[in-house]
Amino acid sequence: MPKEDSFFDISIIGGGAAGFFCAINIKKNNPDLNVVILEKTDKLLSKVKVSGGGRCNVTHNCLKNDLLLQNYPRGIDALKSIFEQFSVADTILWFENEGVTLKTEPDGRMFPNSNSSQTIIDCFLRLCSKFNIKIIQKCNVRSIKSNDSQIQIISDDLVIYSNKVVISTGGYSNPESYQWLKSLGILIENPVPSLFTFNDKNLVYKHLAGVSVQNACIKIHNTDFEYSGPVLFTHWGLSGPAIIKLSAWAAQYLAAQNYVFTIEINFLNSISYEKTKDELLIFQNKNNKKNIIANPLFEIPKRLWEMFCTQSMIAPERSWAECGKKNREQLARLLTKNTFEIKGKTTFKEEFVTCGGVLFDQLNPENLALKSNEKIFFAGEVLHTDGITGGFNFQAAWSTAWVVAKEIAKIINNY
């Protein structure tokens, strides 16, 4: 029989958002259960801390599940039943009941009123203390073994026994890190990065770093992948919400291309090349005395407009009366059919999100227990699902963790 301090009713592997949320809700629903969180590093809730620039983008104000699901490139079928059990509205109410009021920004992202991720961290740590949830840090789990009665968790320094285990380790960045799960016969979709920026091979616009266009449309050549929204020029290439969200939808395709591909940007979003040519001609006829470079059109930022004019062979002193057809056509092309050769990506390591993980078809869709071993559950980013930016990944973490916790809390001394 194992020593008393090495046994826990429930062991949760991973001290991130899903792990803490699951542990707390297990104890809320069944205070008699003995719960431990096992964290590999000496840092707890590290992604919560850096999310949203240190403000923690808790969720997104999207109260209709059918609309919410449209923000997940992968895992929609599984998440549908999960969100029916624990929705965005449930998340907002949960935090409100714990004294954390959320506010909604114009783009729908939701943050704590304090504008500090520490508010979320403090809430979770307070509840762990209140419910006597043990936290063991620097506990690097190497393997788990299951028999008819219990699960043995083997780390570098400890052997722990539990009746149930929740795996909420987050998304690993390489396939080798999943080996300890594969040894249990668990099928894994190999991980690839999601949510990253594009490195411009030619860096023609490097000097425009910091300039943004609020409503552009980006398409990946020879694919159906496209996304509209703000685009930001950087020292290394292109960023902004539209680029990062596009990277999520195309994550697996871009990995297969080794991140070498071509994109086309319409900086006017839905205005076509032909329409733009017509509008430039109309403007020219009505304003032929105006200087071209000094008067940007279509709400294009001044520095970007100047660059487009230069590339269109329009000299700084020229007026619209001196603008030829070829100049207008090149300007229209740069505005609506501007191509960029992309070579490589830039990922923000602190907020690293992966596409890949444990495949849902091995799990009970109602409670995320492993079909082949109902003592093992999964929650959070370790699952093969991921969302675009805006609080959607955290919402998936809260919902999957809550569903697991609800199921586990039913097991009152029934082993």
What domains sit in the chain, N to C, each tagged with a CATH number?
A: 4-193+349-408 (3.50.50.60), 196-346 (no CATH)
Distance CA 295, CA 386 (A): 43
pLDDT value for 415: 44
Distance CA 252, CA 221 (A): 15
pLDDT digits (tens, 9 = 90+) for 318-353: 999 999 999 999 999 999 999 999 999 998 755 568
Q: In the chain, what percentage of residues exceed pLDDT 90?
A: 89
pLDDT at 246 over 90: yes
Distance CA 336, CA 294 (A): 20
Q: Indicate the pTM of the whole model.
A: 0.91
State the residue for tokens 């983008």.
57
Stretch 60-86: mean pLDDT: 97
In this structure, are residues 108 and 61 in contact, taking their beta carbons and an 8 Å threshold? yes
Confidence of residue 37 (pLDDT cuts 50, 70, 90): very high
pLDDT value for 223: 98
Amino acid at 127: L
Tokens coding 406: 């609800």
pLDDT value for 413: 44
pLDDT value for 171: 85
pLDDT digits (tens, 9 = 90+) for 201-229: 999 999 999 999 999 999 999 999 999 99
Tokens coding 209: 């770093």
Residue 190 CB burial class (10 angstroms; 0-12, 13-18, ≥19): middle
State the residue for tokens 């955290």.
394
pLDDT value for 200: 97
pLDDT value for 5: 55
Greatest extent of the chain over all pairs of C-alpha atoms, in Å: 92
Nearest to 275 by CA among 222, 329, 212: 329
Tokens coding 85: 């059990």
pLDDT value for 149: 81
